């Protein structure tokens, strides 16, 4: 019995040591030399210039843990690496399969570079596309609202602003936030009158959408005021709003 137990123990230890010896050495978990890290960064820049998107992704994914280990995830270089990964996937018309990196690139860039920086703008746009593609409309709303705030605080291109409010109204409708949709449509209608003219199709389309919104909210006084003012023929068969 003792010999049998010892043989089992020896067999177990043999298998254990075999597995340990066969495990691959994770070289990337060790901190690179400064020379290797700098060379990798230069190679990433070269790959970007040559539009070698797969190479950018592969090198950057290996370099990011090294960058964070040397600095922090809030370091500008590490954020730019994240941006480069997402940008490369976008160039290939794909979304980064590591979805957490899409959000992280935007959040970190916004915190470190500021909301109006070009890197933040690119990462926000990519994050927005990802959310809309996955029908996560509720999380996409704050991104559009942020863009609107930035544009309203800046030069104020009214045509671009009208397009942004159109985006916002569409998203609010998809999440059935009718009061917020009304506010966005009211702004779209006002901007359309200024930019496109009172008799434009844009004004008519915005007025019809706003009329439907009033109907859904049982705002019948506003509904009839609007359709009479704009000379619209919009039916209203909405159920009472809960």
Q: What is the DSSP string of 93-148?
A: T---SSHHHHHHHHHHHHHHT-TTSHHHHHHHHHHHHHHHHTT-HHHHHHHHHHHH
Q: From CA 10, how far away is CA 18, in angstroms rounded? A: 12
The DSSP element (H or E) to which 229 belongs, if any, is helix 220-230
pLDDT tens across the length of the chain (242 residues): 444 545 554 444 444 433 333 333 344 458 999 999 999 999 999 999 999 999 999 999 999 999 999 999 999 999 999 999 999 999 999 999 999 999 999 999 999 999 999 999 999 999 999 999 999 999 999 999 999 999 999 877 899 999 999 999 999 999 999 999 999 999 999 999 999 998 899 999 999 999 999 999 999 999 999 999 999 988 887 564 55
Q: Say what the pTM is.
A: 0.82
């Amino acid at each position: 019995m003792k010999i049998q137990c010892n043989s089992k123990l020896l067999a177990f230890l043999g298998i254990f040591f075999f597995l340990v010896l066969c495990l691959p050495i994770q070289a990337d978990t060790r901190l690179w030399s400064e020379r290797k890290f700098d060379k990798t960064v230069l190679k990433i820049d070269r790959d970007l210039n040559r539009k070698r998107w797969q190479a950018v992704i592969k090198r950057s994914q290996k370099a990011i843990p090294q960058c964070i280990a040397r600095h922090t995830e809030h370091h500008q270089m590490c954020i730019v690496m994240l941006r480069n990964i997402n940008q490369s996937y976008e160039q290939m018309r794909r979304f980064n399969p590591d979805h957490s990196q899409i959000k992280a690139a935007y959040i970190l860039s916004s915190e470190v570079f500021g909301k109006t920086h070009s890197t933040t703008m690119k990462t926000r746009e990519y994050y927005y596309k990802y959310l809309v593609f996955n029908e996560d409309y509720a999380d996409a709303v704050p991104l559009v609202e942020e863009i609107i705030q930035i544009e309203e605080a800046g030069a104020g291109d009214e045509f671009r602003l009208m397009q942004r409010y159109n985006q916002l109204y569409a998203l609010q409708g998809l999440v059935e936030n009718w009061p917020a949709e009304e506010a966005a449509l009211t702004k779209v209608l006002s901007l359309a009158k200024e930019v496109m003219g009172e008799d434009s199709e844009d004004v008519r389309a915005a007025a019809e959408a706003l009329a439907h919104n009033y109907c859904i909210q049982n705002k019948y006084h506003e509904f009839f005021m609007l359709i009479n003012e704009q000379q619209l023929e919009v039916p209203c068969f909405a159920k009472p709003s809960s």
